[in-house]
Amino acid sequence: MAGGGPGVLHIPWYATLFRGDGFEAALAEIAPIALRYRAVDYEVYRARDDTYKFLQSATFQSALDFERYWYGDEFSQWRSDYSSWYQVPVLYTWMDRVVQGRVGPEPEAVRSPVE
């Protein structure tokens, strides 16, 4: 159900010509800063078929936490420093996670005490 509360932010980025590798490093610099603004996780993806295309993702407890990250000193300075490295406009999307799955290790068997 859409609404308030925790949400996943998607920021699509498109690097300018010959800046793909450098922009990857720049995103690796700014993405972890989200944790300072109450994000519970972050990820950055790079497309295999178009290596200038990136997707930054982070889960925030509230839209306000994201706005503090996006408009905060670190991200504002980062956008200024790398403004010629990506195409504008950058239009982020606030998403609600509907379902998530994961494959993990099998839980260890719990043995009952031998009587």
Residue 1 scores a pLDDT above 90: no
Domain of 88, in residue numbers: 7-95
Q: How far apart are CA 88 and CA 111, in angstroms?
A: 58
Query: ∠4-90-92 over CA atoms, to 5°?
Result: 15
**Is 36 part of a structural domain of the chain?**
yes
The CATH number assigned to the domain holding 62 equals 3.30.70.100
Residues 6+ apart with CB under 8 A from 58: 8, 9, 31, 34, 39, 41, 42, 43, 66, 69
Residue 37 lies in a domain: yes
Reported confidence tier of residue 73, pLDDT bands at 50, 70, 90: very high
Would 13 be classed as within a structural domain?
yes
Task: Note whether residue 100 is domain-resident.
Answer: no
Q: What is the pLDDT of residue 113?
A: 57
Average pLDDT over residues 72-89: 97
What is d(CA 84, CA 74) in angstroms, rounded to the nearest whole number? 17
Q: How many domains does the chain have?
A: 1
What pLDDT is stored for residue 111 in this prediction? Answer: 60
Residue 114 belongs to a domain: no
